Amino acid sequence: MKAEKSLMILSIFVLLTIIVISTVFFTVSEGSVALVLRLGEFISEENKPLPKIHRPGLHVKYPVIDRVVRLSTKIQSINEQSSRVLTKEQKPVELDYFVKWRIKDFVKFYKATLASSSGRIDLSRPIDPSRAEYFLKNNVADVIRSSFGERNLHDIISGERHDILKELQEKSTRGAETFGIEVIDVRIKKLDYPSEISNSVYQRMRTKRQQVANLYRANGKFASEKIRSNADKEFRFIIAEAEKDAAAEIAIGEASAAKIYEKSYSVSKEFYKFYRRMISYQQSLGEKDILVIDPKRVQFFSEFYNFHPVTTTTKQ
């Protein structure tokens, strides 16, 4: 009986010890900080009016009267899609963008995000981080509308993209200081025309590109015709020069042949006539031609009539 009573007392003591430890000690994890509220007021640093910021680690607080508020120090993101703005020419465009931000002033952020509908700040209430995100979205959207409304679409797309992003980041940070937020970066992921006017814009782009293509084709055709004309002219010139050179060579050859014929004729007139007649027969009669001609009646074939075959006898 005494053993059971001792065990019960020990269990109660351990339970009370755990409760006391859990209410006295608290931990702050990496990527976050903590503020301690004592009876609705921030605990300040020693000899300093600023509230004490508890960094990651193990800390001590008074039970019951102290309340721990944890805030993230990590970089957070807001992704906004299909936000419509007007340019300087009053042309609507849709853009997707994201915002990188983090809490810079923890006390200001905590006070600005209290879930209170009245204007009075009640530190005993829980914070509502969505209020800060909602405010930051509206702040960045106002900055984007203001910046885009001062520029033409061409400048936004091509020349001033880096300057625009820098301006968005700086103006958004100034506007977010009310919530103790620092805007680290603002980036545009996508910029496009609204769907209802995209088709007409693309059609105009196609028409313009088609006109440019037709101009290139016309210039190319003109250049090709000019090249062909010059090539044909050069071809005819080369052929004419070649025919001229060939005619000169032929004339020289014919002159040389005439001299040879003349020389041969002076040596043996009869043999020369006979040789020329044989050449004529060869040119006028083919291998497959069969002619039956009386040499007596056709002067051209008189050689066949006067031909006397040479016979040879073999001595025994």
If we measure between CA atoms, which residue out of 84, 52, 81 comes closest to residue 69? Answer: 52
| CA terminus-to-terminus distance, the chain | 170
Separation between Cα atoms, residue 66 and residue 73, nearest integer Å: 22
The tens digit of pLDDT for each residue in 193-229 reads: 766 666 766 777 888 889 999 999 999 999 999 999 9
Q: DSSP assignment, residue 180?
A: T
The tens digit of pLDDT for each residue in 56-80 reads: 888 888 887 888 888 888 888 888 8
Residue 270 has pLDDT above 70, yes or no: yes
Instruction: Decide which of 168 and 291 is more confident.
Output: 168
Q: Are 145 and 85 in contact (CB under 8 A)?
A: yes
**H or E segment at 183?**
strand 181-192
Stretch 175-199: mean pLDDT: 79
76-192 to CATH, choices 3.20.20.70, 3.40.1390.10, 3.30.479.30, 1.20.140.10 = 3.30.479.30
pTM summary value: 0.53
Separation between Cα atoms, residue 221 and residue 197, nearest integer Å: 36
Instruction: Decide which of 9 and 53 is more confident.
Output: 53
Q: DSSP assignment, residue 301?
A: G
Q: Using the Cα atoms of residue 112, residue 114, residue 116 and residue 119 in order, give the sign of their dihedral.
A: negative
Q: What is the pLDDT at residue 178?
A: 81
Q: What is the pLDDT at residue 220?
A: 92
Q: What is the pLDDT at residue 114?
A: 72
In the chain, CATH 3.30.479.30 covers 76-192
Stretch 225-253: mean pLDDT: 91
Stretch 1-29: mean pLDDT: 75
Q: Are 63 and 18 in contact (CB under 8 A)?
A: no
Q: Are 183 and 173 in contact (CB under 8 A)?
A: yes
When pLDDT is cut at 50, 70 and 90, the band that residue 313 belongs to is very low
The tens digit of pLDDT for each residue in 131-155 reads: 778 888 888 888 888 888 887 777 7
Q: What is the pLDDT at residue 240?
A: 92
